[in-house]
Structure formats: structure tokens, C-alpha cells
Structure 1
Amino acid sequence: MEASSRRAYRALQRSGAPPPAKKPSRAGRNLPAAIGVGVVLGGAVIATALLWAPSFVALVTVAIVLASLEMVTALRAGRFNVPVVPVIAGAALVPVAYAYGSSMLILGYGLVCLAILLWRAVEGPERAIRDIAGGVLIVTYVPLLAAFAALMIAAPDGGQRIIVFALVTTMSDTGGYAMGVLKGKHPMAPSISPKKSWEGFGGSVLFSVVAGAISVPLLLGGHWWAGALLGLPVAVFATVGDLAESTIKRDLGIKDMGNLLPGHGGVMDRLDSLLITAPLLWLLLGVLVPVA
């Protein structure tokens, strides 16, 4: 059998015909590269969160600058002339939230939105509403939501809270991806994300609930049921975050927000679910596992 296969392959080479194309992976991406990048990023988050909180804030701020630039570039594909300077300056909301708390975060967000309005108004009225709306969208979607991670790490047990946040959200993504590849048959939103299935969503819920039930008592000393209760809405919000970014990309006619991270796309493609779940985790951890 093996000898006949070799003869057939040599005959195919002599004929000049191209070899048969490989069947595309159901994963839809470079899985080894994605795993490698994920391990490196996860290690950086854990190390900075546990060793020195300001280093975690600096890491998040750099990521938010890169993600904001990706969003600016993506919106230009849709003919949005977003004011770049005030939008990128919005990344300062992350260290502001860490240093001064939620009140200053709200004030800083309002000032950044005002700066976007004034900056764009100087350039003239043509298409100004679209451009201002695009700038406010980026600042709201990226630095404002990311700033809730800074609020979490500002707590006395902030490093552990960040790890719970990252673990529960990442496990939701992992469970959805694994179950979607292995068992996915019923599309959840085929017009937005054809590969996202209801079976995958079930995997997201399962992995997120289990991750919460294990990590909350282990890292924060809370009840296992509090962690499990945390996992369900996180899976819902993480899925909504992924679908929201997919909606924006489809509307703009792009596949990924960038190409900086092999196997993932851009920084924004890695942050989509984390950004949406950050305010939720900050709120629910404060209620279910209050700081001692």
C-alpha cells in the first residue's frame, strides 16, 4: 500500500500537476503560534500583576495605545477621520484610574471626549459628527473599559483579582473555541461570526464556571459558589464582546484589527472579550468577594 502511494506521488510529480491542497483546519488559524503567544502574554500578565502593580498598569497602558492605534487604522477603512492625538491620549485613563480611583476616571473620560470634540471641530464641519463619534467609540471601548482592570489591581489583593479576571475570561474563550471546533454544528450568529456556535457557547459557560469555582476560593479565599456564579455572566459578556468586535470588523470589511500577534491578529483581537468583562469582574468581585 505504501509502495503504491509513493508511485502515485512520483507519477503526479512527473505530470506537473500541483499536489492536492491540504484540508483547511477547522481552527481557522495558526494554532501553535496562537498558543505560544497566549502563553507569553499570560505569563507577562501574571508576573507583572503579582510582582509589582505599577508594571502591570504600564503593560496595560502600552497594550491600550497599540489597540487604539489599530482601531484608528481600522476606522479609516470606513472613512472615519478620527482625531488621533486625543484618542491615543485616552490611554492615560488606565494609570489615572490606578492612582486616583473611579471618580477621577469618570472626570478624565469626560475631558478626553471633550478634547476629541474640540480637536475635530478645528478641522472643519464636513463629516465631523462621524469622526467625533468614531473617536468617542474608541476611547469608550478601549481605554475606559481597560481602566477597570487598573481599579481591580489597586485593591490590596489586586494581583490575585487580576489573575481571576484573566483566568475566568480566558477560559471562557478557550472553552468556546475548543467546543466550537470539536462539536460546533449550530451557528450562533452566522451573519457576524460564522464559526461561533451554540455548542461553543456551552463550552464557554462550562469552562468559565469551573475556572471561577476553582480560582476564587484558591486565590481570593471566597466561596466556590461565588466563583461559579461569577463564571456564567462572564461567559455571556465575553461572547458578546467577541461578537461586538466581529460586527465592527465586518462593517469595515476587514478580517483582523491588526497583525502584531501571530495566530491572534492584532492586539485588539486579543483584548475584545477582556475589555467587555473588565467592568463586570470589577463589580461582581466587589460584591461577591469584597476586599477584607
Structure 2
Amino acid sequence: MNMKQGDSVVVGSERPLGSAAPDPSAPDGSATTKSQGKAGRNLPAAIAVGAGLGISLILIMVFAPLVWIGVVALALAVATYEVSKRLREAGVLVPRIPLIVGGQAIIWSGWPWGTTGVLSATAGTVLVCMVWLLLHQGLGSAPKNYLRELAVTIMVACWLPLLASFAVLMVLDDNGAGRVLVFLIAVVCSDVGGYVAGVLFGKHPMAPAISPKKSWEGLAGSLLFCVIGCLLTVTLILEANSLIGVLLGVVLVVTGTLGDLIESQVKRDLRIKDMGTLLPGHGGIMDRLDSLLPSAFVAWLVFAILL
């Protein structure tokens, strides 16, 4: 649903993890076609895909809120595959099967057992991954890069399924469908506001070494759109104090922007433009979840404390 610029330059898959990414301003890596324009993407395709996803999620929230759990689980399975594939291409052999299966356990355990189930499944996934990496090459030889690959594996487990589980916990709370709608609308408002303000007025880069297209003007646009969107949706959908909407809008812009920058830095380390190619004009599933994942936890926390 968001319309963000990919930050990195695509190169071959044979590279060391953590090597410096090429300069995005270099002529051999940054030129965009006329069809992409300042967006850096195929804008008509991006809008069509984003609108289709948005309408589908609204219909789910209105008519079958629990289907949201399956949507989150499917999206996380694909995103985990994308991330693990990219890491393996960079020479980091994270255990793909335990991460995908464990991620499903983390997502689905929140339905019957709440936060206890989520945390238990996360701990179990980490333990299985520790043993899996230890035995990957057999007991006859010591595993190579065990500490590095275990650290990255735990990071992926916490970054993807653990954070996504809070989107599931959200829908299980009182008026859960309304909470998820407010959360999704807030993220969309932040993305649209940042995109519009960045394209029209962006002149001062916010983090040029990480995401050259992000500007302070874009951040201001995100803040304006998101606060207005949250104020209206919290008041009209959740029938709660409008000040909660203002607070939610501010914190979601901060967490969404940081989530986007985190994925941008990961892609720079891996020297790739997108995590995948599944969504035309957007990249992969993970490229659409970067701001949603940390925002899901923050939104759940704000709702749990203040509603």
C-alpha cells in the first residue's frame, strides 16, 4: 500500500555481508526511467496493487475479522522466505524451515493463548534454530560462522513473526476489527503523506546515507496526514478520546519511519534494491511490511494502555 522508493542498487549475489553499498547517486545505479519518475517505481502498478490490498483488508475487517490472522500468517511466511533467501545469497545460512514453521507457530499461538502463547512460541523457535544450526553440518565437524548466523536468525525471528504477532493480538481484543482498521489507515496515511510531501517539496535529505529519497519535508507530510487520519479514525471508529488519536499518529510516524530505515539499511548491507518481486511496483511482501511490523507492536501497546 505504501509507495516508497527502493534505496539500494541491485548487484550480483556474490558479496560479503556488511560490505559497503554502492553510492545510490552513481549514474550506473540510480537512473530511473521516465515511467518511474520521481517515485522510483512503476506508479500505476503500485497504486493498483496498493488499492487492491487496501480494499481487501477493509472487507476482511468488516465481514470476517478473524481471517486477518490467516492473512498475517501467509504474509509472514512469504516475507520470511524472501528475507532468508536474500541472506543465503549473501552467504548467511539462516535456517529457513525452522524460521518459517516457527513463525507460523508464533502467529497462530496468539489466537488461543494470547501473549503467553506468542512468547512461548518465540522462545521455542529460537531454541530449535540454535540446535538446527549446531547440527547443520553434522556432529562430525564444528559449524562455521555459528555465532553470526545464530544472531541473524534470532533477529529475523524477532523482526518478522514476533512483531507481526501483535497485529494478531490486536484483532483479538475488544473491537479488534476497529483497532486493526485504525492501525492500517494510520500507516497508509503516513505513507501517502510522506510520498506526496516528499515528491512535491522534498529538498532536505533526512538520512542520505541510508535512504537518499527520504526528506524532512516528507516526514512532515507523514506526520500531518497520519495525525489527522488517527484523530478521525480513533474518534469515529473506536469512539475514544481524540487525544489518543493525536498520540497514536505521532508515535506511528516515528516507528514507521524507523522501520522503513531499518529495512533500507539491511538492504544496503545486502546490496539489493528489493527483498522480492511478488508485488508489481512495490517489490516483495517484506518491502511492504517494513513500516507495518514495528507499528503493529506500538499500536497494540497504545490501545492496550489507553483504551
TM-score (norm 1): 0.89
Partner of 2:70: 58
- Indicate the SS of the match to 2:162: helix
Q: Deviations over 1:2-37 (max 9, x none)?
A: xxxxxxxxxxxxxxxxxxx84861111111111111
Partner of 1:260: 278
Structure 1: 5+ residue stretches without partners: 1-20
CA RMSD of aligned residues (A): 1.3
Partner of 2:220: 202
Bigger Rg, structure 1 or 2: 1
- Indicate the SS of the match to 2:296: helix
Partner of 1:94: 107
Instruction: Name the CA distance, whole Å, in 2 between partners of 1:70 and 1:277.
Output: 21
Q: Deviations over 1:73-127 (max 9, x none)?
A: 1111321001111100122211111221001111110000001001110024211
**Amino acid across the alignment from 1:171:** C
* Identity between Structure 1 and Structure 2 (%): 43
Partner of 2:85: 73
1:228 corresponds, among 236, 242, 246, to 246
1:85 corresponds, among 94, 97, 100, to 97
- Indicate the SS of the match to 1:26: helix
The answer to which of 120-129 and 46-55 deviates more is 46-55
1:111 corresponds, among 124, 134, 140, to 124
Instruction: Name the CA distance, whole Å, in 1 between partners of 2:35 and 2:237.
Output: 43
Q: Deviations over 1:189-248 (max 9, x none)?
A: 111100000000001111110001000011000122211121001101100000000000
- Indicate the SS of the match to 1:188: strand
- 1:1-292 pair list within 5 angstroms: 22=34, 25-89=37-101, 90-124=103-137, 125-288=143-306, 290=307
Q: Deviations over 1:23-54 (max 9, x none)?
A: 86111111111111111111222222222233
Q: Which has the higher contact order (CA 8 A, sep 6+)?
A: 2
TM-score (norm 2): 0.85
Instruction: Name the CA distance, whole Å, in 1 between partners of 2:304 and 2:149.
Output: 36
Partner of 1:10: none
Partner of 1:4: none
**Amino acid across the alignment from 1:119:** W
**Amino acid across the alignment from 1:198:** W
More helix by share: 1
Runs of 4+ in structure 1 over 4 Å off: 21-24
The answer to which of 119-128 and 253-262 deviates more is 119-128
Structure 2: 5+ residue stretches without partners: 1-32, 138-142
Instruction: Name the CA distance, whole Å, in 2 between partners of 1:95 and 1:40.
Output: 25
Q: How many residues align?
A: 269
* Change in 2 beyond 3 A, CA 1:24/1:157: closer
